[in-house]
Structure 1
Amino acid sequence: MSDGGDDGNRSYGHKKFKRSKSHFADRITADGRDGWPVAAGRYRLVVSRACPWASRALVSRRLLGLEDALSLAVVDPIQDDRSWRFTLDPGGRDPVLGIRFLSEAYDRREAGYPGGVSVPAVVDVPSGELVTNDYQQITLDLATEWTALHRPGAPDLYPRALRDEIDTVMGEVYEDVNNGVYRAGFATGQEEYERAYEGVFRRLDLLARRLAGQRYLVGDTITEADIRLFTTLVRFDAVYHGHFKCNRWKLAENPVLWAYARDLHQTPGFGDTVDFDHIKRHYYQVHTGINPTGIVPLGPDLSGWLTPHRREELGGRPFGDGTLPGPVPEAERVPPRGRP
């Protein structure tokens, strides 16, 4: 998730939406072929709990048990036109990187970089430079390149035998759902909005049919595909239904997708990374181009996320031959205000 670009947060909803490609696409790999070898303690993952793209990395890191190997920085959900801020930390500085704005790590990598400052971002701690903001690749590399640092019992989130199918499903979900809600929400004309809206619900209907008879999107275990769909679904009723005008129905009104989303939310590693307070405050207070009053709705009622889902009746093994992740580190727990 990027800042508002050259025109700041007021630009949302006033210019045609186009998601930028990740400019910094270096990879952190086991063999270090891009100059960035996997190493415990060397890198810092910077996220916003409001951002669905960053939330993918939060879930993956948790499921794989990389908390000790890859440290975490959480930015303020309310960004200003200077980008994501570390105002949640004492003194308004990240305690490891020593910076006030994520843009400082971008500037150390490439002075005068003209693009937006986005999360997730991985920063090299020794140099303070941004390594990558490639939200599509970061989680795949956590699953496949960081294996030497995975916890015992970590699941295989990108199993080789299923990668073609996973890639296909993720591509469809990205185009119509992950990105589709943004095309609808930031549309500047009726026809543009309606095309995005129809694409969102056409794909969600197809996904509901797929998930009516199977617990997870691909195979019988949780994969990267489930992570990517979940981070949009968990925000659907809180922000996309109203704020982005994706209002054919609420997630809670779709029996299959609502049960699927609750199943994942109640799985360790998913719901314990979600902060609804950050999500709502970011979308409604930052996107002043489409919500100029900055008023944050009190609803929806979040208690439904904890109700029985009965998806276990479909079978499936959430972590395959692996095990549940351990407890959330104390410093990374979501405050009560942000939890159901």
Structure 2
Amino acid sequence: MAKDTSTAYVEESFQRDTRYLDDRITSDGNSGWPVEAGRYRLVAARACPWANRAIIVRRLLGLEGALSMGLAGPTHDANSWTFDLDPDGLDPVLRIPRLKDAYEKRQPGYPRGITVPAIVDIPTGQVVTNDFKQITVDLSAQWTAFHREGAPQLYPEALREEIEEVSERVYRDVNNAVYEAGFAGTQESYDEAYHRLFAALDWLSERLEGRRYLVGDTVTEADVRLFTTLARFDPVYHGHFKCNRSKLSEMPVLWAYARDLFQTPGFGDTIDFAQIKRHYYVVHRDVNPTGVVPDGPDLSNWATPHGREALGGRPFGDGTPPGPPPEGERVPTEHNPTLDAEGMFAGA
């Protein structure tokens, strides 16, 4: 199986290609891409942590009716993510078999990684943006006309500077560091990433010991950005990427924090553990040549009580939690043992 097209591999150390299509979809349309209900399609994959951010934010804000979503399968080859989850192998709206086709519509011979999340302009079939960080910020700040009643403030103006300050270290030393450790080509580069990762996790544990959320007293972008890595830590990063000083479930503060978010509507109900494991263990043949997917670990422990309510804070502030996900967007219960038939967290 070919290498993950969202990453660049070099002889000694891992480097992420961050040259994105960075057009923005804005409320005033001055970017050339105005916010319009029904015009765009978010293409994501439940397996991918960067795409998982966009899935969570879209759900928390209630944008399902304005921004449709296509889901690629958990595995891909060197060419592209594919729509193999759909019955005919075609995205039902874009009518393409591979996400690469939408990139090629935007730029014939597109030379960089075919990544998710990507937002596609449905009328032209071309990718507008795959800038994963800006996508979720703009869903919060530019798509407000289509937010559900009671939608949370994930990127409040008064907290943006602190959100970005915290998130910069989270990105560099947690989100990306697990990849730097996992794809390291030398002992030296692995050791550097490994120690930087666990120093950052210790720092986060200290920060979260006396506060429920990373910034302020409600869920923000900062929590979304950290959560998608924590959700994959024990199933994938601990073993597959050799990030094995300790499991998440052996770090008391972070484990309780992660379970608190997981059990909050909009977070854990987007997690498909089966697809996550299949993606990493099957696609990354450089790391796992056999493609064998491990049966463990037991993931029912995500449903255990976390006790974080004692720290105060309200996940949605003055807002309300989202309702059940649309029927076609529910994670199968066999892929996440904590969910009920409506795709909502139900406990163990």
Normalising to structure 1: TM-score of the pair? 0.96
* Aligned with residue 274 of structure 2, among 258, 277, 280: 277
Does the 8 Å CA contact 1:30/1:37 hold for their aligned counterparts? Answer: yes
SS of residue matched to 1:63: helix
Opposite residue 50 of structure 1, the aligned amino acid is A
* Aligned with residue 141 of structure 1, among 132, 138, 142: 138
2:4 is aligned to 4
Question: Percent identity between the aligned chains?
Answer: 64
Query: What is the CA-CA distance between 1:13 and the residue it aligns to?
Result: 8.1
Opposite residue 62 of structure 1, the aligned amino acid is R
Query: What is the CA-CA distance between 1:3 and the residue it aligns to?
Result: 6.0
2:51 counterpart of 1:54: yes
Whole-Å Cα distance in 2 between the matches of residues 174 and 270 of structure 1? 19
Post-superposition CA distance 1:137-185 (Å, at most 9, x none):
0000000000010000000001111111111000010000000000000
Whole-Å Cα distance in 2 between the matches of residues 268 and 23 of structure 1? 30
Structure 2 spans left out of the alignment, 5+ residues:
338-348
Note closer, same or farther for the CA distance 1:145–1:3 as it changes in structure 2 (3 Å cut).
farther
Q: How does 1:191-210 map to 2 (within 5 A)?
A: 191-210=188-207
* Aligned with residue 180 of structure 1, among 177, 180, 184: 177
Whole-Å Cα distance in 1 between the matches of residues 327 and 10 of structure 2? 38
* Aligned with residue 107 of structure 1, among 98, 104, 107: 104
Opposite residue 147 of structure 1, the aligned amino acid is T
Structure 1 spans left out of the alignment, 5+ residues:
none
2:216 is aligned to 219
* Aligned with residue 90 of structure 1, among 84, 87, 92: 87
* Structure with greater proportional helix content: 1
Opposite residue 291 of structure 1, the aligned amino acid is N
Whole-Å Cα distance in 1 between the matches of residues 38 and 290 of structure 2? 42
Q: How does 1:117-132 map to 2 (within 5 A)?
A: 117-132=114-129
2:93 counterpart of 1:79: no
Post-superposition CA distance 1:208-247 (Å, at most 9, x none):
0010000000000000000000000000000000000000
Query: What is the CA-CA distance between 1:15 and the residue it aligns to?
Result: 6.2
Whole-Å Cα distance in 2 between the matches of residues 280 and 73 of structure 1? 20
Q: How does 1:20-59 map to 2 (within 5 A)?
A: 20-59=17-56
Whole-Å Cα distance in 2 between the matches of residues 13 and 307 of structure 1? 41
Whole-Å Cα distance in 1 between the matches of residues 11 and 89 of structure 2? 31
Whole-Å Cα distance in 2 between the matches of residues 261 and 49 of structure 1? 18
278-287 or 329-338, which deviates more: 329-338
2:316 counterpart of 1:305: no
Query: What is the CA-CA distance between 1:310 and the residue it aligns to?
Result: 0.7
Q: Aligned Cα RMSD in Å?
A: 1.5
Whole-Å Cα distance in 2 between the matches of residues 138 and 313 of structure 1? 33
Query: What is the CA-CA distance between 1:28 and the residue it aligns to?
Result: 0.5
Post-superposition CA distance 1:2-37 (Å, at most 9, x none):
9634xx99x868663111114200000101111110
SS of residue matched to 1:92: coil
Note closer, same or farther for the CA distance 1:196–1:309 as it changes in structure 2 (3 Å cut).
same
1:230 is aligned to 227
Query: What is the CA-CA distance between 1:81 and the residue it aligns to?
Result: 1.8
Whole-Å Cα distance in 1 between the matches of residues 94 and 12 of structure 2? 34
Does the 8 Å CA contact 1:187/1:193 hold for their aligned counterparts? Answer: yes
Does the 8 Å CA contact 2:12/2:189 hold for their aligned counterparts? Answer: no
Opposite residue 145 of structure 2, the aligned amino acid is A
Post-superposition CA distance 1:183-215 (Å, at most 9, x none):
000000000000000010000000000100000
1:295 is aligned to 292
SS of residue matched to 2:88: helix
* Aligned with residue 16 of structure 1, among 13, 17, 28: 13
Number of paired residues?
Answer: 336
2:345 is aligned to none
SS of residue matched to 2:334: helix
1:319 is aligned to 316
Post-superposition CA distance 1:109-160 (Å, at most 9, x none):
0001111100000000011000000011000000000001000000000111
Query: What is the CA-CA distance between 1:91 and the residue it aligns to?
Result: 1.0
2:166 is aligned to 169
Opposite residue 298 of structure 1, the aligned amino acid is D
Query: What is the CA-CA distance between 1:337 and the residue it aligns to?
Result: 2.1
Post-superposition CA distance 1:259-284 (Å, at most 9, x none):
00000000000000000000000000
Does the 8 Å CA contact 1:155/1:323 hold for their aligned counterparts? Answer: yes
Opposite residue 322 of structure 2, the aligned amino acid is P
Whole-Å Cα distance in 2 between the matches of residues 3 and 41 of structure 1? 34
